[in-house]
Amino acid sequence: MVDVGDTFENAVTGERFTWLATNSSTGGAYCEFDLHLSPAAKLAVAHRHPGQLEAFSVLSGRLHSRVDGVARVVEAGEELVVPVGAAHTWGNPTDEPAHVRVRLTPSKLADEYFAAFCRIASEGRANKAGLPKNPLQFAVLLDAHRDEFQLPSPAAQVVAAPVVRLLAMVGRRAGFRADGTRAR
């Protein structure tokens, strides 16, 4: 469970999350975190949130984004709102750090999703893109959080969703959990 004030770091992607509001603290209404992006922080994998609005408020630095194919640099003092279901990616490919406040509405389990990825990276189990090296672990995470995170292409969803569900079943039997841990 993620609590207000918790901080998680993903050294692979150059992200640090400090939770200001969580799913449990808002009754699921929203979650909010301060996102610190190191210089040259990797771009997030292109994705969409099928039932969540995502708002980015840049407090310092710049956020490079692409929403439904449109590139934009969001400067300090500006906001980027990603509509529900819009394909997007973001990152900090500059040589300066960035500080961004992010809010997902409603929360669903987004806080747990980010915490799991940070846990996996901190234990050396993430690839260079910050994703789980083990495909079974990745499938368990994607399946458990399919309401928060999906591949951007509807065609990819049609093809990938059944495969992910099957791999997730195998992964859960192998002990992988949605929190990024593995039962021994």
Q: Is 74 helix (H, G, I), strand (E, B) or coil?
A: strand
Quick check: pTM over 0.75?
Answer: yes
pLDDT tens readout for residues 29-38:
999 999 999 9
Distance of CA 97 to the CA centre of its chain: 19
Encoding tokens for residue 138?
């990745």
pLDDT tens readout for residues 44-81:
888 999 999 999 999 999 999 999 999 999 999 999 99
Mean pLDDT score, 147-151 = 87
pLDDT tens readout for residues 96-131:
999 999 999 999 999 999 999 999 999 999 998 888
Whose CA is closest to 132, among 100, 167, 90, 94? 167
Rounded to a whole number of angstroms, the distance between the first and last alpha carbons of the chain is 20
Of the options 2.40.30.30, 2.60.120.10, 1.10.287.3510, 2.40.30.10, the CATH number for the domain spanning 7-111: 2.60.120.10
- For residue 118, the model assigns a pLDDT of 95
Q: In what order do the strands lie in the sheet containing 15-21?
A: 7-10, 15-21, 31-37, 98-105, 53-60, 79-82
Encoding tokens for residue 86?
């819009």
How many other C-beta atoms lie within 10 A of the C-beta of residue 27?
A: 9
Q: Where are the domains of the chain?
A: 7-111, 116-173
- For residue 100, the model assigns a pLDDT of 98
